Amino acid sequence: MTQLATITLAAGKGTRMKSKLTKVLHQVAGKSMVQYVVDTAFDLEPVYNIAVVGYKSELVKEETEGEIEFVLQEEQLGTGHAVMQAKDKLKSFSGTVLVLYGDTPLLTVETLEELLAKHESRESAITVLTTKVDDPTGYARIVRDNKGNVARIVEEDDTSPKEAKINEINTGICAFDSKLLFENLSELEADNAQGEYYLTDLVGILNQKGEKVSALLTANNKETIGVNTRRHLAQAEKTLRERICNYHLDRGVTIIDPANTYIDAEVEIGQDSIIYPFTFLEGETKLGSEVVIGQQSKIVDSKIGDRVEVKSSTIIESKVGDDGLVGPYAYLRPGSELAENVKVGDFVEVKKAQIGSGSKVPHLSYIGDTTIGENANIGAGTITANYDGKNKYQTVIKDNVFIGSNSTLIAPVEIGQGAVTGAGAVVKDDVKDNDTVVGVPAKQIKGRL
Ligand code: UD1
Ligand code: CA
């Protein structure tokens, strides 16, 4: 088998995005565009997985994960110039070089494998991935000769009115014979509308030299979108979201309204779960099976067990054990860990707290920096007063505790096993196991004040 090296071009600024952020770091379904591309490249098992970085290169390197070798393109003089920067790294490499653009996040491994298979079976110098689109604006056009072979690629700014009408476009993805690529890159000239060294000019150059130029025309024109503007970004987002929803639908997840459900690329969902509309599942979230996520919920980087029900709630960097109930309108902030069978009900905020199995915080409470044991019942309106203006303190509530409504637990404080607090109790000191603390009841006065 021919060896493979991949080069992802990610050095450009992305002026058309009108953004402080470099283009390839913009996210689609929760992952940066360049991360998609290098991940897809990685799946092809290349010997070298290279990314060319330039504009804000340190940031791009920091934000991009995986087994990638970065090379620097100090000045962005065009895609041909960008590929040239990888020449040194590949000096002892011989085989196929696949060039990918960091702004085409939707490309699939299958399409690339098809391109490589065609390139290698035909022993071509270059194989270009092309597609047909209704509106070719923004892309280079593919000019074919009278035998139907690709003669040239003309960048949009350099097209004649006739060429501008061609609707077969260059996706930017190209497979090259490594030797011919690096031999001919130095022949590129920047005598074009943008004054750049275009990688795409290699097609004309190789043709002139009588080398074999091939093309794979793919019908999947949704996956070859090159994101140059925010409009393109929104389009890419829509396509990818649809693809992600279909993935889960095919694996036994019910999504009531896929067009209004927002699931990030890395999210996992167990079988027979049901997702109601306007739900956002983000980051590295994992849902168990038979989970029901109610409408308008947002779950970020969290692990949700089996048979959990989440209604109209927000859960961030937290864990919910099997058979849990969350919401409506609960807010689990980072570090909340609910064991099995826990209920965190309406208008409850939980932060950095462990809640033991079978315990309930059904209504209107704030539980922060707290450990609650098993089978405890926390009455409506309970507040753990964890902050004195300077420091945060812990509250410990042991097994089988009953906290009366509207109790204020002033941390640091520990409520012993089986203890009870009366409604409205303001608890400053530790309570022993099985004891009761009650507050001052209101006095009755005759008549209205
Ligand atoms: C490019 C292609 C065009 C194709 C289109 C497909 C060229 C000259 N043009 O145009 O034929 O139809 O993609 O989407 O190749 N980059 C660098 N260094 C540079 C310039 C660009 O790394 O000096 C990177 C960018 O970060 C980007 C990619 O190369 O990820 C493509 O550059 P971009 O400016 O978006 O090219 P297009 O104008 O879209
Ligand atoms: Ca582009």
**Domain limits of the chain?**
4-224, 230-445
- Residue 1: what pLDDT? 74
Neighbours of 77 (CB within 10 A): 18
26, 20 contact by CB (below 8 A):
no
Average pLDDT over residues 338-357: 98
Ligand 1 binding pocket mutation candidate from 6, 7, 8, 9 (most atoms within 8 A of CB) = 9
Largest CA distance in the chain: 107
Give 229 Cα–ligand 2 centroid separation in angstroms.
Answer: 9
What lies within 8 Å, CB to CB, of 355 at 6+ separation is: 336, 337, 338, 339, 342, 344, 361, 367, 372
Ligand 1 pocket residue status of 227, Cβ below 6 Å: no
- Residue 271: what pLDDT? 98
Q: What 8-state DSSP symbol labels residue 17?
A: G
Q: pLDDT tens-digit profile of 401-414?
A: 999 999 999 999 99
**Confidence at 74, pLDDT banded by 50, 70, 90:** very high
Looking at the domain covering 4-224, what would its CATH class be? alpha beta
The yes or no reply on domain 230-445 and CATH 3.20.20.150 is no
Nearest ligand (C-alpha, residue 225): 1
Please check the confidence at residue 50 and state whether its pLDDT lies above 90. yes
Active site residues: 363
> Model pTM?
0.94
Q: pLDDT tens-digit profile of 108-162?
A: 999 999 999 999 999 999 999 999 999 999 999 999 999 999 999 999 999 999 9
Please check the confidence at residue 325 and state whether its pLDDT lies above 80. yes
46, 4 contact by CB (below 8 A):
yes
Q: What 8-state DSSP symbol labels residue 212?
A: -
For atom 3 of ligand 1, which residue has the closest CA? 140
Opening angle at CA 238, ends 237 and 239, nearest 5? 95
Give which of 301, 278, 283 is closest to 293, Cα–Cα: 278
Alpha carbon 67 to its chain's center: 18
d(CA 308, CA 343): 10
Give which of 9, 158, 170 is closest to 81, Cα–Cα: 9
